[in-house]
Structure 1
Amino acid sequence: MGIKSFQGARRQQQKVTEQLPCRVCDYMSRDLITFRTDQKVIEVVEILIKHKISGGPVLNEKNELVGIISEGDCLKQISESRYYNMPMEDDTVEQRMVKNVDTLDGNMNVFDAANVFLESKHRRFPILENGKLVGQISQKDILVAALEMKGHNWNSTTKNSNC
């Protein structure tokens, strides 16, 4: 009398051959609202509210990244103008923007980028290519990537590809 297995046939595990996009450049926003150094802060506030964004990159006349302006920078200006009884209309983006801007590499894995977000407390990072602004990645973009990757191998990356 032979031993019978009641386990049944095992299904072969399928290998995931599809390379899932998980680089920053696959999820970054490319159509950005940008600001100029000579714009008035009050105009920036109106744009932020109208477009429901929390900030954006500041470009010079050569379209080079020179800073970031955020809701917090605008709030600071509003608070100080009220405290010192100064007109709000006088401040420009250049006076209020953050000039030392951290950027991310577009080829970085989005999950490595998530760690950078956690360590830095930034809400957004500009992406430069050859010194020019090509996009911006936000915390929300990372969340979108995580949802799309749900159930897949989170380590699958395509290295050294152009964005």
Structure 2
Amino acid sequence: MKLQPVPNTNDLMKVVTHTVAPETRLADVIDYLTRCGVSSVLVVREENGKRVLLGLLSEGDCLEHLSNELFYGSPMPIQTAATIMKRHPLCVTTDTDVFALSSIFVSHNYHYLPVIEGQFLVGIVCRSDVLRSLDEYYRQWVKLHDDERTPIDVHEIMNHRFLVKV
């Protein structure tokens, strides 16, 4: 039995379904997040049938801007996804391996990462999918290396020590 290649983002990513346009108003972004039951959304612009990733907008971002608007008054211009999103979110490519993905998820405590090719959004990879994939890879590795993990029989080693050839 041979160990399978190390999984990468291309093996794990899913199609991105939760996106908003940059001109989407703050109230509509909040409605979208609560209706879909997601904690963040990617802000994209359509360009020749492809999606260009512009930023990321989370519940926390919406909470901050909505509470500020209520406390301080309505800003001018009206807040949209483009005006409040986090620009340049951390992204990965389709060939990022599962170990690099694990490191990013652990270091930054993200739940998912956008997957890009150039400037275009091609998918999303979730922390839970990386964990599942890494666990499967580990289980394969253990099966292949199980004999290396078996304790050595000390009696057998000692018997070899006292064998004398005549």
TM-score range, shorter chain: 0.7 to 0.9
Task: Report the Cα offset of residue 37 of structure 1.
Answer: 0.6
The one-letter amino acid paired with 1:30 is: V
CA distance in 2, matches of 1:48, 1:148: 32
Task: Report the Cα offset of residue 127 of structure 1.
Answer: 0.8
Match of 2:145 in 1: none
Aligned residues: 138
Match of 2:67 in 1: 79
Match of 1:48 in 2: 33
Q: 2:8 aligns with which of 16, 23, 29?
A: 23
Q: Which structure dedicates a bigger proportion of its chain to helix? A: 2
Runs of 4+, deviation exceeding 4 Å:
none
The one-letter amino acid paired with 2:71 is: Y
Q: Residues 127-158 of structure 1, C-alpha deviation per residue, up to 9 Å, x if partnerless?
A: 1114311001122222332344451228xxxx
Q: Is the 8 A contact 1:40 1:91 kept in 2?
A: yes
Unaligned 5+ segments in structure 2 are: 143-166
Q: Is the 8 A contact 1:32 1:136 kept in 2?
A: no
Unaligned 5+ segments in structure 1 are: 1-14, 155-163
Q: 2:79 aligns with which of 64, 74, 91?
A: 91
Q: Is the 8 A contact 2:22 2:45 kept in 1?
A: yes
Greater gyration radius: 2
Q: Residues 14-47 of structure 1, C-alpha deviation per residue, up to 9 Å, x if partnerless?
A: x235x26621121112142211110012211122
Are residues 141 and 41 of structure 1, via their aligned partners in 2, closer, same or farther at CA, if it must alter by over 3 Å?
Answer: farther
Percent identity between matched residues is 24
Q: Which structure dedicates a bigger proportion of its chain to strand? A: 2
RMSD, aligned α-carbons: 2.4
